[in-house]
């Protein structure tokens, strides 16, 4: 499983995606801004068990979540 894990330096995330992510996370949990920014930049899915974060982001229109079915 770790073979598929990629690590990214936070400074490689563009300022545009950091700004968008900060706006999404503001009022929810700004400490998650880098995770949301990377998800946006890679057009990926955010995998989180943080229900407050998930609900807050969904209320702001963010829907890029990985969910087990």
**Which residues are within 8 A (CB) of 21 and not within 5 positions of it... i.e. 6 or more apart?**
33, 34, 36, 37, 39, 40
Alpha helices in the chain (DSSP H): 15-25, 33-42, 51-59
User: Within a domain: residue 63?
Assistant: no
Please check the confidence at residue 1 and state whether its pLDDT lies above 70: no
Expressed as residue numbers, the domain containing 31 is 12-58
Q: Is 43 helix (H, G, I), strand (E, B) or coil?
A: coil
Q: Let me know if residue 51 belongs to a domain.
A: yes
The pLDDT tens digits for 25-53 are 999 999 999 999 999 999 999 999 999 99
Let me know if residue 7 belongs to a domain.
no
- Output the pTM of the full model: 0.90
């Amino acid at each position: 499983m770790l073979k598929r894990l990629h690590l990214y330096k936070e400074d490689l995330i563009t300022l545009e995606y950091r700004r968008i992510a900060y706006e999404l996370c503001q009022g929810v949990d700004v400490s998650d801004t880098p995770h949301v920014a990377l998800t946006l930049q890679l057009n990926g899915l955010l995998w989180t068990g943080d229900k407050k974060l998930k609900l807050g982001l969904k209320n702001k229109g963010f829907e890029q979540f990985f969910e087990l079915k």
